[in-house]
Structure 1
Amino acid sequence: MENDQLIAVDTFCTYYEVEYAFVESLRNSDLIELVEINSSRFLHIPQLQRIERLIRLHRDLEINVAGIEAIDNLLARVDYMHREILSLKNRLRFYEQEL
Structure 2
Amino acid sequence: METDQLISIDIFCNHYKVEYSFVQSLREVGLIDTVIVQETQYIHLPQLQKLERMIRLHDDLDVNLEGIEVVHHLLKRVESMQSEIVSLKNRLRLYESLD
With the length of structure 1 as denominator, give the TM-score of the two structures.
0.97
* CA distance 1:2–1:38, change in 2 (3 Å): closer
Determine helix, strand or coil for the equivalent of 2:10: helix
Q: Please tell me the root mean square deviation across aligned C-alpha atoms, in Å.
A: 0.9
What letter corresponds to residue 44 of structure 2 in structure 1?
H
Correspondences of 1:18-33 after superposition (within 5 Å): 18-33=18-33
Q: Which has the higher helix share?
A: 1
Amino acid at match of 2:82: H
CA–CA separation in structure 1 for the residues paired with 2:38 and 2:72: 31
Runs (4+) of structure 1 exceeding 3 A deviation are none
Work out whether 1:40 is the aligned partner of 2:40.
Answer: yes
The 5 A counterparts of 1:1-99 are 2-99=2-99
Structure 1, residues 18-39: CA drift from partner, whole Å, max 9, x if none?
0000000000110000101111
User: Structure 2 length as normaliser, TM-score?
Assistant: 0.97
| Corresponding residue pairs, total | 99
Identity value in percent: 55
For residue 75 of structure 2, what is the amino acid of its counterpart? L
Q: What do the CA deviations read for 1:7-65 (whole angstroms, capped 9, x no partner)?
A: 10000000000000000000011000010111110000111011001111111110011
